[in-house]
Amino acid sequence: MNLLALDLGGTKTTAALVELSPAGDARILQRVTSPTPAREGAARVLENALELATSLADGRGRGHEPIRAVGVASAGVVDVHRGVVTHATDALPGWPGTDLVSAFSTRFGLPAVALNDVHAHGLGEARFGAGAGRGSILLVAVGTGIGGCLVVEGRPLFGARGVAGHLGHLAVPEADGVTCSCGRTGHLEGLASGPGIHALYLRRGGRAADTREIAQRAASGEELATAVLRECGVATGRVLGGLMNAIDPEVVVLTGGLSQIGEPWLGAVREGITHDAMDAVAGTPVLPAHAGVEAALLGAAAFAQDELTRGEEV
């Protein structure tokens, strides 16, 4: 089945033509990316995404399999029942209120679905990546922010308001007094996201342009950089250990910029997990993601296919 998939973020928008086979394989046939014109307002951002998708749909020529549905993964909180964005950060000014499903179904005359990009990423990783063949996965993305997605039996947990998975906004003692991007204090994201790690390093008297530089310094043996990465890794691991106790996923899958750093961050995450996870869940595999940068596109396509199939069964 061929589907159109979009991944709409604050900095770039990607549209792809995705083929999902009955055997459960996914293949990106074509894709096109452009910068998201976030500063030009929500209407321009939406039109840009529609144009990208149109260019793919129109550029295929005759004789191709028809496109059956559209799946849109978007930054921000998405009400999956209505396909409408309800909240977004300053990265996409004016984005809340955007009716993604109406816009895409009207433009293409096809069924459309929309979901949050991290939920799409989780579904893509669960179906086609490290979660393939598993009953449940907890995807954890540690980068500019800290988010995640629990996928059980092939369906992301969206929550009643589409908010489920905001793992970075759990409290952790190491973050006491540290301001979070949500405006509260004491949340993991404020301390242990990429920008959080950079800020902690500066507070401790270090000087570095960004978290990547801190990772390089740790790799070459600098004590302060190593200590900061370890502290944030342990805090992240403690939250993961608590989540394992609460929801017992079959596997935990790590993705995002920090997961690329490796040591000493990764070892510290494992240490934090050991600190908090109960014996019964302490052996839960923690795996690197491997559905790649296209995971959200694949997840959006899979969600569109699921909804289409469900509709046909009714």
Applying CB under 5 A, the residues found at the interface with Zn ion are: 169, 180, 182, 184, 187
Q: Report, in Å, the least distance between residue 168 CB and Zn ion.
A: 6
Residue number, 107 or 198, with CB nearest to Zn ion: 198
Q: Report, in Å, the least distance between residue 95 CB and Zn ion.
A: 19
DSSP 212-281: HHHHHHHHTT-HHHHHHHHHHHHHHHHHHHHHHHHH--SEEEEESHHHHH-TTHHHHHHHHHHHHS-TTT
Residue number, 126 or 180, with CB nearest to Zn ion: 180
What distance in Å separates the CA atoms of residue 85 and residue 57, rounded to the nearest whole number? 24
The first and second tokens of residue 5, run together, are 């998939």
Q: Report, in Å, the least distance between residue 197 CB and Zn ion.
A: 16
Residue number, 2 or 236, with CB nearest to Zn ion: 236
Residue number, 70 or 175, with CB nearest to Zn ion: 175
Q: Report, in Å, the least distance between residue 89 CB and Zn ion.
A: 12
Query: H-helix or E-strand containing 33?
Result: strand 26-35
- The C-alpha angle 82, 86, 88, rounded to 5 degrees, equals 140
Residue number, 10 or 196, with CB nearest to Zn ion: 196
Length of the chain equals 314
Q: Report, in Å, the least distance between residue 170 CB and Zn ion.
A: 8
At 139, the amino acid letter reads L
What distance in Å separates the CA atoms of residue 299 and residue 279, rounded to the nearest whole number? 33
Q: Report, in Å, the least distance between residue 193 CB and Zn ion.
A: 10
Phi, psi of 180 (to 5 degrees): -100, 165
Phi, psi of 45 (to 5 degrees): -60, -45
Burial class, 301, CB count within 10 angstroms (exposed 0-12 / middle 13-18 / buried 19+): buried
A 10 A CB-CB count for 77 gives: 21
Q: Report, in Å, the least distance between residue 189 CB and Zn ion.
A: 5
Task: Using only the alpha carbons of the chain, give its radius of gyration.
Answer: 20
Residue number, 130 or 235, with CB nearest to Zn ion: 235
What distance in Å separates the CA atoms of residue 68 and residue 31, rounded to the nearest whole number? 17
Residue number, 256 or 299, with CB nearest to Zn ion: 256
Residue number, 15 or 140, with CB nearest to Zn ion: 140
Please answer whether residues 74 and 117 qualify as being in contact, where contact means their C-beta atoms are separated by less than 8 angstroms.
yes
Q: Report, in Å, the least distance between residue 61 CB and Zn ion.
A: 48
